[in-house]
Amino acid sequence: MTPGAAPHTLPVPPRESPMTSTSAASLSSLIGRQRAGYALETAFYADPAVYAADLGAVFARRWLFAGHECEVPRAGDWFVYDVGDESVIVVRGADRALRAFHNVCRHRGSRICTSASGRAKAFVCPYHAWAYDLDGRLLRDTAAEHGVAAEALGLAPVALRAVGGLIFVSLASEPPSFDAAKAMLAPALKPQGLARARIARTVDYRIAANWKVVWENNRECFHCPTTHPEYIRANYDIQLGEPRHEAEIAARTRECAEQWRAKGLEVPSLTSDMTAAWYRANRTPLRPGWVSESLDGAMVAPLMGHYPDPEVGTLRVTVFPNFWLHGSCDHAVSTRVTPAGPRTTDVRVTWLVAGHAQEGRDYDLAKLMPFWQRTSEQDWTICENVQKGVMSSGYRPGPLGRFKERNVAQFLDWYLGELRQTLGGVIARA
């Protein structure tokens, strides 16, 4: 939960936007043609120039979920998060503070960490063995040989914020404020106990679809009846907004919300809507008889965090552009979305349980994983189908549903707004 303390390094100057004024002009006309309430044109899902703009305007500017605090519990534990050409080291220092650095040697630029994670007393560059302390300081006298004092050659810092056991980083030289997001997410996440959780399993997927296809699919449950037999048995999402179910859902939601508040659980929102433009936290009821997002609704691991009993519904957290999480009383599943090309997305799905839980004794992966493994993989199949379809000359952007796909429209409004903001700067500089 400790934000990174200032290391002894020079800041890295901000990178130029990858957009030239020419590509900005064509992107600007593409955005100008976009009809409100409609899916995007093919170029948004496939064009390398749009992909470059997405990395520069969105992923280089926003807060990105990098990983979980419980991945780096001890001093010296580190992991790497790669996005586009960027690579970020997240490390817990000897003083227990979390810090993030560009994974770039200050000598001649080699990647320093060449594996995904580890534990170190210092970071040693594989090229000429420059060594850096866990707080980024260069541990070598460079004044005589290189003519520059070591103090000026520390690892370049990356902004880091931790909330509720989740680690976010921002590659921006002046990151947007995280304060309001933290104010909502911290109390909502607290009872889930993610900071002291155990990672039961991580699965990495490479999906043949643009990252926005993955998000559009995530932001609606219109597809759930045809796609997710497991999910719809546990959740009400698909019936939200249907008049014949409204009274039943409203009564169940009221009843659950009263119980949760009585238990001291924060209930920032009871709907599936985004509670702010780029983040949300809410708690929603499971169907009667279900206490966990498992195949039969029964618990599949011991209670997590500070939950007093299993009747806590599901905690849902979403942070654009790369993170969502569902938390049940006994486990949580996080999803990290990373663009890997115009038509390719890397997705990491992580299952977390209470820190004291032991596999084989307290939980069984064969029971813990199938609900979200099946649901996730069902989604990836749909996303790849959509990507194939939007590449066709026969594709025309279709109309979004006013209710069931309103959160897709909200995501697209947010995304296009991010592009416009950056474009404004590029066009102004041209």
Q: Which residues contact ligand FES (rule: CB under 6 A)? A: 105, 107-110, 125, 127-128, 130
Among ligand FES, Fe ion, none, partner that 127 touches (CB below 5 to 8 angstroms by kind): ligand FES
Specify which residues 116 forms β-bridges with: none
Q: Of the two residues 49 and 125, which places its CB atom closer to ligand FES in the complex?
A: 125
Q: Of the two residues 102 and 219, which places its CB atom closer to ligand FES in the complex?
A: 102
In angstroms, the first-to-last Cα distance of the chain is 41
| Shortest spacing between CB 231 and Fe ion, in angstroms | 7
Q: Of the two residues 121 and 128, which places its CB atom closer to ligand FES in the complex?
A: 128
Among ligand FES, Fe ion, none, partner that 379 touches (CB below 5 to 8 angstroms by kind): Fe ion
CB atoms inside a 10 Å sphere around CB 32: 8
| Shortest spacing between CB 13 and ligand FES, in angstroms | 19
Positions in the binding site for Fe ion (CB under 5 A): 379
Q: Of the two residues 229 and 417, which places its CB atom closer to Fe ion in the complex?
A: 229
Specify which residues 99 forms β-bridges with: 91
Cβ atoms of 305 and 191 closer than 8 Å: yes
Q: Of the two residues 15 and 128, which places its CB atom closer to ligand FES in the complex?
A: 128
| Shortest spacing between CB 123 and ligand FES, in angstroms | 10
| Shortest spacing between CB 150 and ligand FES, in angstroms | 13
Cis peptide before 321 (omega within 30 of 0): yes
Q: Of the two residues 111 and 223, which places its CB atom closer to Fe ion in the complex?
A: 223
By the 10 Å C-beta count (0-12 exposed, 13-18 middle, 19+ buried), 54 is classed as buried
| Shortest spacing between CB 110 and ligand FES, in angstroms | 4
Q: Which residue is nearest to Fe ion (CB)?
A: 379
Which residues, 6+ apart, have CB-to-CB distance to 88 below 8 Å? 66, 80, 81, 82, 100, 101, 102, 103, 158, 169, 171
> CA 309 to CA 263: how far, in whole Å?
9
Tell me which DSSP letter residue 69 carries.
G
| Paired tokens of 353 | 């349980």
Residue from 167, 117, 161 nearest 336 by CA: 167
Q: Of the two residues 107 and 374, which places its CB atom closer to ligand FES in the complex?
A: 107
Q: Of the two residues 108 and 206, which places its CB atom closer to ligand FES in the complex?
A: 108
- Strands, sheet with 344-353, edge to edge from the N-terminal-most edge strand: 198-207, 344-353, 332-341, 323-327, 314-319, 279-284
| Shortest spacing between CB 125 and ligand FES, in angstroms | 3
| Shortest spacing between CB 398 and ligand FES, in angstroms | 50
> CA 407 to CA 405: how far, in whole Å?
5
| Shortest spacing between CB 379 and Fe ion, in angstroms | 4
> CA 383 to CA 205: how far, in whole Å?
13
| Paired tokens of 422 | 């950056």
